[in-house]
Structure 1
Amino acid sequence: MIDEVIKVFKQLDNKDIRILTGIEIGMKNSEWVPVEDVMKYTRMTYDHISFRLKKLAKLKLLSFTSIPYEGYQIYFEGYDALALHTFVQRKTISAVGNEIGVGKESVVLEAIREPELGIGDPEGVVIKFHREGRTSFTQVKRNRGHIGDREHVSWIYAARLAAKREADIIGKLYPEVSVPKLIDHNRHAIVMDIAKGSLLYKTRLEDPQWFLDEILRQLKLAYAKGFIHADMSEYNTFVHEEGVQIIDWPQYVELSHPHADELLERDISNILAYFKRKYELEADLKRSMAYVKGQ
């Protein structure tokens, strides 16, 4: 659990981080990284590294096997620790707060970022840790195009690819499309501004027609840039007095995708169905599709 990582994070020193990094690198090619490879990366003797490996295992940051050889792999918690270490070193964050969101494929935490040059007040940000593949890597590989046909991809590496993909698309969409601003990205985690407002499904709207139109307008702006969200719903749309923000983009597709129209239709259908169900708003799917596509 991420809260356990935060508790043990201060117990880690640079040598612990180097060991976790060595295992991380080795897992790109091996399910279980041989202890000899970890020794080679860290330049530590077996006696020295053995003590630290036991410590990290006790902290539940890695696991090990002795069959058919002594090998190690890091848990997501170990990967979390590496990402947090990098964000702290870069001064991207200075403190971590509460868990504010948990989904099938991500965990989101509050954090604090110190102002640049020490001028001004600290600002709130969020850290999103991707969790693709934790429960069913086979399903993730089937459903996520960015995995491709790689024969060996560890679960944490799948999460790393998803985070990079989301960081890349946010950078391409912002600021023309209303998405949270990307602040930093490392491994399977991204740091962003806090989304404005509250989630659509938790909010009672006084003018639902205006917000429906605004959501479709944002989808149109994304489409004009060549992208389709491909997972739109009331659960990844924030609403506030001035507009909307759309989150959770790692499964986006480009217009050249063979199922682009089908995915766009599903996105729009999901939103129209929500507004019809909650507010009894009627909107024509074909007209909405044509509007988003600029036709």
Structure 2
Amino acid sequence: MIDDVLKFFRTLDSKDLRILTGIEIGMKNFEWVPLEEIRKYTKLNFDQLEYRLFKLYKSNIVVGTKTPYEGYQIYFDGYDALALNTFVKRGVVSAIGDEIGVGKESVVHEAIQEPELAIADPIPVIIKFHREGRTSFKRVKRVRDHLVDREHFSWIYAARLAAKREYDIMQTLYGKISIPKPLDHNRHAIVMAPAKGSILVKTRLLEPEWVLDEILSQIKIVYSEGIIHSDLSEYNIFVSDEGVEFIDWPQYVTVEHPHADELLERDVFNVLTHFRRKYNLEKDLDEVISQIKENV
């Protein structure tokens, strides 16, 4: 839980953070990073290192094993602490608030960024912590194209790669389609502007036809950029008086993907099904797909 991270975060010093970084780096090559490898990276003597590792272990920042050798892994709380430390140093985040969203593969928190001018109000932002690999590596590999050819990877690798992938595509698409503004990225976390409005699944629309047309228009623009969201539904579309915004991009594919047509159809089907069930609006799936692909 991020609340536990925040309590412990204030007690971490540079040596603790170096230990966590050493374990993070070691997990590229080891399932359990040997104590000797951590010592080489941190240059701490064994007494200091074991004392600090025990403190981190008791706080669930790291996990350890004694068999077949003494080794350690960084835990999500520890990875959260490293990302937060970087964001604070960069001035991207100055305070973190309530959890506002949680799923199988991410946790989202409100946060604040200090304004450039002291007299200005703090700037609200969102931090999304990726959690890929927390449940099943096999399932994650099955649904993530960027992992299918990797024989060995840690959850750190899966979460970090997903966050970078999402941040990169948001940077590419921002300004061309309606998405929250991406602000920064570190490890498995992304800082972005809050999405405008409210999430579609929890919103009762006064003008559902207008909103549906806005969503389909955005899908067409995304497609014209050579991209398919591939996980689009009422759970990751925000609506406001200004229009719509799409979130959750780590599973995007390009139009050259071998299953591009199938994934586009699934996105559109999910959207049309929501509006048919909730507002009794009917649109022909094949006609909508044809309109999206027209002149592209």
Q: In structure 2, what residue type is equivalent to 1:269?
A: F
Q: SS at the partner of 2:257?
A: coil
TM-score (norm 1): 0.98
| Deviation of 1:117 (Å) | 4.9
| Deviation of 1:106 (Å) | 0.3
1:250 equivalenced with 2:250 (yes/no): yes
Q: SS at the partner of 1:96?
A: strand
> Residue 240 of structure 1 corresponds to which residue in structure 2?
240
Q: SS at the partner of 2:111?
A: strand
| Deviation of 1:118 (Å) | 3.8
> Residue 151 of structure 2 corresponds to which residue in structure 1?
151
Structure-1 separation of matches of 2:259 and 2:128: 28
Structure-1 separation of matches of 2:24 and 2:260: 35
> Residue 78 of structure 2 corresponds to which residue in structure 1?
78
| Deviation of 1:73 (Å) | 0.3
1:96-175 alignment, distance < 5 Å: 96-118=96-118, 120-175=120-175
Q: SS at the partner of 2:92?
A: coil
Structure-2 separation of matches of 1:290 and 1:119: 52
Q: SS at the partner of 2:93?
A: coil
Q: In structure 2, what residue type is equivalent to 1:226?
A: G
Q: In structure 2, what residue type is equivalent to 1:235?
A: Y
Q: SS at the partner of 1:15?
A: helix
Structure-2 separation of matches of 1:137 and 1:119: 48
Q: In structure 1, what residue type is equivalent to 2:211?
A: F
Q: In structure 2, what residue type is equivalent to 1:194?
A: P
Structure-2 separation of matches of 1:265 and 1:60: 43
> Residue 18 of structure 2 corresponds to which residue in structure 1?
18
Q: In structure 2, what residue type is equivalent to 1:90?
A: R
> Residue 231 of structure 1 corresponds to which residue in structure 2?
231
Structure-1 separation of matches of 2:31 and 2:2: 23
Asked if the contact 1:28/1:154 (under 8 Å) is kept, the reply is yes
1:176-187 alignment, distance < 5 Å: 176-187=176-187
Q: In structure 1, what residue type is equivalent to 2:221?
A: L
> Residue 281 of structure 1 corresponds to which residue in structure 2?
281
| Deviation of 1:116 (Å) | 2.4
1:55-70 alignment, distance < 5 Å: 55-70=55-70
- CA offsets 1:80-119 (integer angstroms, 9 cap, x no match): 1110111011111000000000011100000000112546
Q: In structure 2, what residue type is equivalent to 1:268?
A: V
Q: SS at the partner of 1:107?
A: strand
- CA offsets 1:269-291 (integer angstroms, 9 cap, x no match): 00000000000001111111112
Structure-2 separation of matches of 1:220 and 1:3: 40
> Residue 28 of structure 1 corresponds to which residue in structure 2?
28
1:95 equivalenced with 2:95 (yes/no): yes
Deviating above 6 A after TM superposition, structure 1's stretches of 4 or more consecutive aligned residues are none
Change (3 A) 1:40 1:194: same
Q: In structure 1, what residue type is equivalent to 2:269?
A: S
Q: SS at the partner of 1:108?
A: strand
> Residue 204 of structure 2 corresponds to which residue in structure 1?
204
Structure-2 separation of matches of 1:219 and 1:288: 10
Structure-2 separation of matches of 1:179 and 1:245: 5
Question: What is the CA RMSD across the aligned residues, in angstroms?
Answer: 0.9
Asked if the contact 1:62/1:78 (under 8 Å) is kept, the reply is yes
Asked if the contact 1:106/1:131 (under 8 Å) is kept, the reply is yes
Q: SS at the partner of 1:126?
A: strand
Number of residues of Structure 1 aligned to a counterpart in Structure 2: 295
Asked if the contact 1:29/1:152 (under 8 Å) is kept, the reply is no
Q: SS at the partner of 2:153?
A: coil
Asked if the contact 1:109/1:128 (under 8 Å) is kept, the reply is yes
Structure-2 separation of matches of 1:274 and 1:23: 45
> Residue 293 of structure 1 corresponds to which residue in structure 2?
293
